[in-house]
């Protein structure tokens, strides 16, 4: 447990650093293979602990190396699994482990990594009163399996991930943009999409102004 | 004419499944985005057979501001006021969820006094949100009086907010690590007075509606959703509880010292619009109970934990959620150790709940669509973010 004094309290430059160098720091959860947790540069803060439970042992026995990592960070459990088995893992979680409520589906973009995207499923179990996060790593252009057949709620959540990141979901009944207009170009939550960027052509045609800025 | 000949007649002349008896064409009707009953800019495309709804499709995104993208370009403290603009009728709850999530990432905890102040304000805000819902929902269905009653009482809550932090709606009441403001002189007294003032008023709302025949006819059996469907669709909050699932994050996974307070989780049985109304009315009373306990046992002490001026949470990811007035409001934050979130995802209850609209109105009448949009209690600022 890190106490309150550990975060650096030094009144150093108040300017925020540009986001450019950010992706160089790979979060430990995203590290693909290393068996030992990579020591972060900063000694402050908790590190992910290995998560050992009967359920994890079951999954490791069933999917072998498909389950890349099972850890717990500040008391929150997550699993990193291969994209090839993620659908089966989610299905087993729902059917055998009572994770009956799909809280959220989202993604994180790491442009400097070979597998650029983390797709994250956050699940909750009413009988167990537990949460779990399942993560998988995807290359740009690869599609994740759609879980709309497991949880109806995934429909809009997957559409939003598609809209914001351009990640496809195989087997989704109606994969369209949801928040942005259908003809929009670009996926705003990708890191290369600047905060001021917009589809000027769309704005010109549909709103009749030069720029929305 | 015997029954058999009658049914034979219908079989002979009834055309295919999707056609009407008279073989009229289906009508596609746009409701919104500028329709008073959609509570903002929601466009619902309805496929109708006469007055019967065959299916719907929601078109959303008119209020999309890219809150999650903004978060990646602001420091943790700078982003705090933005969350108030999502569910703007329950800004305090949004801020509470965000502060708890960043605190979890920083590994700090708000001191007890701050937690109590947070509970009081969050519950007051839950009441304000439910009151606004009740007034507008009743107005949609044709009862105009409750609007004046609820807005009269909501005003008292907003006055307390204004005195506490200077803002009525988008309050930015909390800071990461606690609260910035100490309670003002006479805060406890005013909150106590409010509890005394509003308790009989809730009975007044009930007198107007609970046994009102028009209200009952318009809401009972409308927009049915079973508990199983709710879980499948990820629906949370009062809508889930009205379907008989006794689940509230304040009890299931208590945060901000909710475990210290004695309150119940009201549930319904039928999962219809009428039950959802009863559940929210009961929640108003439970909120009053919590406020009453909190304000009379508020501990002394600091209101701010030790948080560095420049917040650089350690590398890691957390998901923290709270029971907002509309359901589970979650924040998934990825930190890369810098001053800005690497990724911030909001799990908005309104967005997920709105997805249930299609299931709830299929096969019902077009007038029920208005009732169902109202009963879902969506705020478009949160749906679109």
Kindly provide the ipTM of the predicted complex, given to two decimals: 0.83
Query: Which of B67-71, B92-96, B308-312 has the least mean pLDDT?
Result: B308-312
User: Sorting pLDDT into bands at 50, 70 and 90, what band is B21?
Assistant: low
Is B12's pLDDT higher than 70? no
Is B7's pLDDT higher than 50? no
Q: What is the pLDDT of residue A162?
A: 92
Q: What is the pLDDT of residue B4?
A: 41
Partners of residue B232 in chain A, C-beta under 8 Å: 151-153
CA distance B267 to A88: 35
Q: Helix, strand, or coil here: B317?
A: strand
Tokens representing residue A3 in the block: 């106490």
DSSP β-ladder status, A76-81 and A130-138: parallel
Is A28's pLDDT higher than 70? no
Q: Which of residues 13-32 of A touch B (CB under 8 A)?
A: 14, 16-17, 19, 22-23, 25, 27-29
User: Sorting pLDDT into bands at 50, 70 and 90, what band is A206?
Assistant: confident
Phi, psi dihedrals of residue B178, rounded to the nearest 5°: 155, -140
For residue B349, the chain A residue with the least C-alpha distance is A103
Higher pLDDT, B315 or B8: B315
Rg of chain B, C-alpha, whole Å = 23
Is B104 in Cβ contact with A19 (below 8 Å)?
no
CA distance B93 to B158: 14
Query: pTM of the prediction?
Result: 0.82
Residue A145 makes CB contacts below 8 A (sequence gap 6+) with: A86, A87, A169, A170, A171
Q: What is the pLDDT of residue A109?
A: 92
State mean pLDDT over A113-140. Answer: 90
CA distance A151 to B87: 25
Measured between CB atoms, does A60 come within 8 Å of chain B? Answer: no
Q: What is the sign, positive or negative, of the torsion defined by CA atoms of B362, B367, B369, B374?
A: negative
Say how many C-beta atoms besides its own lie within 10 A of residue B253's C-beta: 17
Q: Where are the beta strands (DSSP E) in chain B?
A: 27-31, 43-49, 52-59, 174-175, 178-179, 316-324, 327-335, 343-347
Q: What is the pLDDT of residue B51?
A: 84
Query: Which of A78-87, B4-13, B259-268 has the least mean pLDDT?
Result: B4-13
Work out the mean pLDDT of chain B and round it to a whole number: 87
For B86-133, how does the pLDDT look when each residue is reduced to its tens digit (9 = 90+)? Answer: 888 889 999 999 999 999 988 888 999 999 999 999 999 999 999 999
Partners of residue B104 in chain A, C-beta under 8 Å: 74
Partners of residue A193 in chain B, C-beta under 8 Å: 69
A124 beta partners: A101, A131
Is A25 in Cβ contact with B336 (below 8 Å)?
yes
CA distance A119 to A137: 6
Query: Which of A71-85, B33-47, B213-227 has the least mean pLDDT?
Result: B33-47
Query: Which of A40-44, A157-161, B174-178, B373-377 has the least mean pLDDT?
Result: A40-44
Is A189 in Cβ contact with B347 (below 8 Å)?
no
User: Sorting pLDDT into bands at 50, 70 and 90, what band is A47?
Assistant: confident
Residue B384 makes CB contacts below 8 A (sequence gap 6+) with: A179, B60, B61, B62, B63, B64, B65
CA distance B378 to B235: 12
* A-to-B residue pairs, Cβ atoms closer than 8 angstroms: 153
Tokens representing residue A140 in the block: 């740009």
Output the CA–CA distances (angstroms, integers) from residue B110 to B103, B291, B309, in the order listed. Answer: 8, 19, 16
User: Sorting pLDDT into bands at 50, 70 and 90, what band is B11?
Assistant: very low
Q: State CA B351 to chain mean position distance.
A: 10
Task: Yes or no: say if B238 and B265 are a contact pair by the CB < 8 Å rule.
Answer: no
User: Sorting pLDDT into bands at 50, 70 and 90, what band is B291?
Assistant: very high
Identify the burial level of A65 via C-beta atoms within 10 angstroms of its C-beta, where 0-12 means exposed, 13-18 middle and 19 or more buried: exposed
Q: How many angstroms away from the CA of A193 is the closest CA of chain B?
A: 9
Q: How many angstroms away from the CA of A145 is the closest CA of chain B?
A: 18
Is A66's pLDDT higher than 70? yes
Which of A48, A105, A153, A207 is best to mutate for the B interface (most B CBs within 10 A)? A153
CA distance A68 to A73: 16
State mean pLDDT over B346-370. Answer: 90
User: Sorting pLDDT into bands at 50, 70 and 90, what band is A39?
Assistant: very low
Measured between CB atoms, does A51 come within 8 Å of chain B? Answer: no
Work out the mean pLDDT of chain A and round it to a whole number: 79
Higher pLDDT, A178 or A31: A178
Higher pLDDT, A4 or A160: A160
Best CA proximity match to B37, nearest among B139, B125, B111: B139
Edge-to-edge strand ranges of the sheet holding B327-335 = B316-324, B327-335, B343-347
A105 beta partners: A121
Best CA proximity match to B199, nearest among B298, B294, B295, B284: B284
Residue A75 makes CB contacts below 8 A (sequence gap 6+) with: none
Question: Which of B72, B309, B314 is nearest residue A45 as measured by Cβ atoms?
Answer: B314
CA distance B221 to B273: 7
For residue B334, the chain A residue with the least C-alpha distance is A108
What's the residue count for chain B?
385
Partners of residue B69 in chain A, C-beta under 8 Å: 188-189, 193, 195
Question: Which of B310, B316, B352 is nearest residue A45 as measured by Cβ atoms?
Answer: B316
Is B303's pLDDT higher than 60? yes
Q: State CA A139 to chain mean position distance.
A: 13
Q: Alpha helices, DSSP H only, in A8-117?
A: 54-63, 86-95
What's the residue count for chain A?
213
Is B142's pLDDT higher than 90? no
Q: What is the pLDDT of residue A36?
A: 53
Q: What is the pLDDT of residue B275?
A: 92
Percent of all residues in chain B with a pLDDT value above 90, rounded to a whole number: 40
Is B317 in Cβ contact with A106 (below 8 Å)?
no
Residue B278 makes CB contacts below 8 A (sequence gap 6+) with: B210, B242, B266, B268
Measured between CB atoms, does A171 come within 8 Å of chain B? Answer: no
Q: What is the pLDDT of residue A34?
A: 47
Identify the burial level of B1 via C-beta atoms within 10 angstroms of its C-beta, where 0-12 means exposed, 13-18 middle and 19 or more buried: exposed
Is A133 in Cβ contact with B319 (below 8 Å)?
yes
């Amino acid at each position: 447990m890190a106490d309150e004094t550990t975060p650096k309290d030094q009144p150093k430059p108040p300017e925020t650093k540009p986001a450019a160098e950010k992706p160089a720091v790979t979060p430990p959860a995203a590290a693909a293979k290393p068996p030992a947790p990579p020591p972060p540069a900063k000694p402050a803060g908790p590190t992910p602990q290995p998560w050992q439970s009967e359920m994890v042992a079951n999954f490791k026995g069933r999917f072998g190396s498909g389950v890349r990592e099972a850890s717990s960070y500040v008391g929150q459990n997550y699993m990193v699994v291969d994209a090839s088995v993620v659908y089966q893992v989610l299905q087993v979680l729902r059917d055998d482990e009572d994770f009956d409520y799909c809280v959220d589906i989202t993604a994180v973009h790491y442009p400097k990594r070979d597998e650029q995207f983390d797709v994250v499923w956050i699940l909750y179990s009413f009988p167990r009163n537990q949460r779990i996060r399942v993560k998988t790593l995807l290359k740009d252009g690869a599609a994740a399996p759609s879980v709309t057949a497991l949880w109806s709620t995934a429909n809009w959540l997957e559409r939003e991930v598609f809209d914001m990141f351009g990640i496809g979901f195989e087997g989704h009944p109606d994969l369209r943009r949801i928040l942005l207009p259908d003809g929009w170009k670009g996926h705003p939550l990708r890191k290369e999409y600047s905060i001021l960027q917009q589809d000027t052509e769309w704005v010109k045609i549909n709103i009749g102004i030069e720029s929305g800025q | 004419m015997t029954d058999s000949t009658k049914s034979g007649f219908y079989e002979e002349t009834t055309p295919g499944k999707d056609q009407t008896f008279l073989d009229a064409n289906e009508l596609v009707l746009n409701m919104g985005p500028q329709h008073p009953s959609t509570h903002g800019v929601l466009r619902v495309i309805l496929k109708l057979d006469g007055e019967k709804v065959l299916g719907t499709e929601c078109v959303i995104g008119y209020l999309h501001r890219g809150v999650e993208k903004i978060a990646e370009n602001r420091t943790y403290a700078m982003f705090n006021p933005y969350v108030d603009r999502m569910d703007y009728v329950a800004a305090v709850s949004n801020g509470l969820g965000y502060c708890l999530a960043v605190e979890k990432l920083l590994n700090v905890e708000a001191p007890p006094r701050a937690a109590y102040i947070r509970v009081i304000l969050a519950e007051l805000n839950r009441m304000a949100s439910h009151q606004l819902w009740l007034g507008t929902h009743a107005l949609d269905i044709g009862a105009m009086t409750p609007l004046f009653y609820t807005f009269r009482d909501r005003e008292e809550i907003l006055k307390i907010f204004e005195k506490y932090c200077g803002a009525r709606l988008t309050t930015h009441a909390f800071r990461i690590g606690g609260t910035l403001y100490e309670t003002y002189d006479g805060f406890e007294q005013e909150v106590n007075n409010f509890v005394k003032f509003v308790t009989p008023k809730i009975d007044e709302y009930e007198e107007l509606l609970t046994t009102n025949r028009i209200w009952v006819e318009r809401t009972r059996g409308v927009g049915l959703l079973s508990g199983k469907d709710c879980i499948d669709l990820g629906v949370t909050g009062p809508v889930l509880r009205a379907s008989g699932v006794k689940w509230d994050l304040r009890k299931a996974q208590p945060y901000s010292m909710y475990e210290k307070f004695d309150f119940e989780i009201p549930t319904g049985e039928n999962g219809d619009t009428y039950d959802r109304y009863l559940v929210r009315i009961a929640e108003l009373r439970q909120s009053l109970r919590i406020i009453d306990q909190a304000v009379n046992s508020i501990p002394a002490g600091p209101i701010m934990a030790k948080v560095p001026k420049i917040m650089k949470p350690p590398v890691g990811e957390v998901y923290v959620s709270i029971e907002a007035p509309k359901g589970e409001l979650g924040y998934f934050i990825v930190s890369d150790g810098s001053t800005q979130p690497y990724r911030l995802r909001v799990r908005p209850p309104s967005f997920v709940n709105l997805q249930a609209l299609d299931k709830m109105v299929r096969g019902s009448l077009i007038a029920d669509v208005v009732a169902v949009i109202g009963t879902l209690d969506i705020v478009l600022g949160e749906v679109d973010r």
